[in-house]
Chains A and B, each alone.
Chain A
Amino acid sequence: MSKLPSLSSVLNAGQRQSLFIGICTFFTAILLLAMVSIVLLIFARGGGYFWPEDIQQLQFVRASDDQPITAYGQYQNQFEQGGEPVRWVVYSHARNPYGNQTLLDDTNLLQARLAPEAARISLRDGRAILGEPLKVTAPSDPDVSLNRLAQRLTQVRQIEQSIAGIRDEQLADIHQKLTELDQRKVGKKAPARLTLNQGFDRWHKRILTLEKQRDAYQLFVRLADQSIVSVALIEVEHLVYPGQLSGWQKLGEALYEVGGFLSESPKQANTAGGVFPALFGTVLMVFLMTIIVTPFGVLAAIYLNEYASNNGLIVVIRIAVSNMAGVPSIVYGVFGLGFFIYGVGGNIDALFFEANLPAPTLGTPGVFWASLTMAILTLPVVIVATEEGLRNVPQGLKAGSYALGATKAETVLYTILPMASPGIMTGVILAIARAAGEVAPLMLVGAVKFAPNLPIDAEFPYLHLERQFMHLGVLIYDGAFHSQTDAKGASMMFAACLLLLVVVFVLNILAVLLRTKLRKRYHKG
């Protein structure tokens, strides 16, 4: 058997070079392709969550019980399964008008037509009905035409507001006074108590009347199988006819949805509604982390770079810092849980909050512990970037500063730090991007699927750092598990992904701009 000819005997020098270039280009192209497809997928699927899909009138055979069904539905997404095109469909049906969903095989689909007459009626609790609005009723007004929907909506919301007003102002006040009387052990028949009770009854009656009025506002909706359901108008949040919108109007609708997504709380177990608490929690956690990690990282880097002599200990510290960057993040999570929460938090509880034990006050996962853990996780990023920045300060400038009688500290403060600030900024923003996207350690130290309260509210001391919080990454993680059974949840996960991607993009662009600006200021040319 003859020996294989070697590469150099087959190709001449020029060909070898172009082969090498070709291989490098190939891998770069694959990389580019991967990046583009990530961005495209997230944008398409995440953006699709906001886009008002056309409503169709569908006739299909339900796979579970072979029953034929006529319903208004919206396609969620489409994919291949065993060579057959399959769709997730969300539809409204008489038995449950608030959005069933099913996996629909094309063979089971009997008929589909666009239904411009049908509207998507989003309810306050995050559910939605697909159907044709028929009429809207109001108390003591025979006019039930749909044209007055907007007016009726304002009316019913005004009523709701006055009910809330009475509850908050009048009833709460009376309750408080009654409690005071109870505490002072005033008798049951005392005149003060009777007056209050009368007042309470009067306001209560007023509320009942208003509630009756409110509930008289009803929206009647016809489903595709001609059955009619009614919804209390107060429950209706938004009504849109996707089939009647032009492309631009759909875009406007999508932007409206984006607004809701950014400002509302999650509903229906994180499958509908918005992500505001998660966004807020992420930002707050990252903000606290930045406050903690920046001084730590910068001062440590200054010590390592400017003060420490190059002995064995410093070498060991440097190696340790680089290794810290490679430690799996879950390890930091476990460390945070074991050291900060059970160790530090537990001891603080034992010392200062003994009265509350065994219920923990600080020895429980919360946003502060999470920030602290993430600060430790991102510390190497900041240290390495700061050291890089410090090394780039020209020796001549340091010498110039010393020659003017500056001490080392003054030189660091007035000359070296401003010059190194682009590097420091880079490090901090990289750290922020890392912390914003981290999930695993956060689930151990304070991020939860659903937190009833924001860490900031009007209650003293306003900033509740011991509270658990919601985090975008955790929300996505949660959504990924929903996606097995729930098409809507999956879309929401993609939308949250998109948001996270945008947040990280914006941060990185900010970093680049800031760095260029500072560079221009501190370096010639």
Chain B
Amino acid sequence: MLTLFEREHLDVNNLAEADTAIRVEQLSLRFGSKPVLENISMSIPKHQITALIGQSGCGKSTLISSFNRLNDLHQHCHYSGKVIINGRDINSRKENVAQLRTQVGMVFQRPNPFPMSIFDNVSYGLRLQGINTRRQLDEAVEQALHDAALWNEVKDRLFEPANVLSGGQQQRLVIARALALQPEILLLDEPTSALDPLTTLFIEELMAGLKKRCSIVIVTHNMQQAARVSDYTAFLHQGRLIEYSDSDTLFTTPRKKQTEDYITGRYG
């Protein structure tokens, strides 16, 4: 009887292959001589929302960026270990990184629309994939804007510059831009930290709806947000994975003292 009200949880520390979106194996990463991630192993479940929490500088953003190799942009980034997506180790030299990034979409802390029209922003990724027919683009752009719950607000001004949108609209535009490529995984790096509470709520609802379409990994500073939106939560501290379990357990009965201290606000 009780199980009806409780959510069914997978055991993230022993996840079946079919349920895994990303498997991280002994990932270590350093920028120059400064270690950022140390020996992280975890599995991120498919079609769930996984939150990464921890103090500033604990490596959350670096971890999420290693899921689409965006850390490569840093000149002195060195990593070891494996990140397996769809059975491929994306850290291998043979990986087609551009292709990977179409499958693993990413949204950043600050909305970063390109200085082009709304339409061009959403179709940017598609055009790079060589989709150029107007009809295909139109359909995909409309679908993506629907998915990001932005269509009704911008449908009459698709060809206006994206810069005129408000912050929340810009962030949803950026989400639409990522969704247009129909990614399997969506990485959100503190997507609401630059937005007001109401807009934040809006984006959180959006995430819950997107779960059906892709696996979501979200980095957040906001514990309440992590508790509200996520199914699973991982707590990082100084580059190490301290605790990782379903969110209900982690926020109500954390096993580690450090986790408890952090979520109760004793440090951080």
List A residues at the B interface (Cβ < 8 Å): 309-310, 394, 396-407, 410, 414-415, 418-419, 521-524
CA gap between A521 and B101 in the complex, in Å: 28
Q: B70, A405: Cβ atoms under 8 Å?
A: no
Q: B112, A522: Cβ atoms under 8 Å?
A: no
Pick from B99, B105, B161, B177: contact of A521, CB under 8 Å: B161
Surface stretch bound by A, among B36-44, B123-131, B197-205, B227-235: B123-131
- Identify the closest chain B residue to A400 (Cβ): B112
Please give the distance in Å from A402's CB to the nearest CB on chain B. 6
- Identify the closest chain B residue to A518 (Cβ): B115
- Identify the closest chain A residue to B174 (Cβ): A400
B10 within 8 A of A: no
Q: For residue A521, which residues in chain B have a CB less than 8 angstroms away from its CB?
A: 115, 161
Q: A405, B102: Cβ atoms under 8 Å?
A: yes
On chain B, the number of residues with a Cβ less than 8 Å from chain A's Cβ atoms is 27
Q: For residue B177, which residues in chain A have a CB less than 8 angstroms away from its CB?
A: 400, 404
Besides A399-B73, A401-B124, A410-B128, 5 other A-B contacts (C-beta < 8 A): A402-B101, A404-B101, A404-B128, A405-B102, A414-B128
Q: For residue B98, which residues in chain A have a CB less than 8 angstroms away from its CB?
A: 405-407
- Identify the closest chain B residue to A395 (Cβ): B73
B214 within 8 A of A: no
CA gap between A419 and B115 in the complex, in Å: 8
Q: For residue B101, which residues in chain A have a CB less than 8 angstroms away from its CB?
A: 402-405
B30 within 8 A of A: no
CA gap between A47 and B75 in the complex, in Å: 59
B110 within 8 A of A: yes
CA gap between A410 and B129 in the complex, in Å: 11
Whether A400 contacts B161 in the complex (CB less than 8 A), given A405-B98, A405-B181, A406-B128, comes out as: no
Whether A400 contacts B108 in the complex (CB less than 8 A), given A310-B75, A405-B102, A406-B98, comes out as: yes
CA gap between A310 and B32 in the complex, in Å: 14
Pick from B73, B75, B100, B178: contact of A398, CB under 8 Å: B73
Q: For residue B174, which residues in chain A have a CB less than 8 angstroms away from its CB?
A: 400
B114 within 8 A of A: yes
Q: A403, B70: Cβ atoms under 8 Å?
A: yes
Please give the distance in Å from B223's CB to the nearest CB on chain A. 26
Pick from A399, A407, A414, A523: contact of B124, CB under 8 Å: A414
Q: A396, B128: Cβ atoms under 8 Å?
A: no
- Identify the closest chain B residue to A415 (Cβ): B114
Q: A405, B128: Cβ atoms under 8 Å?
A: yes
Q: B70, A404: Cβ atoms under 8 Å?
A: no
CA gap between A414 and B116 in the complex, in Å: 10
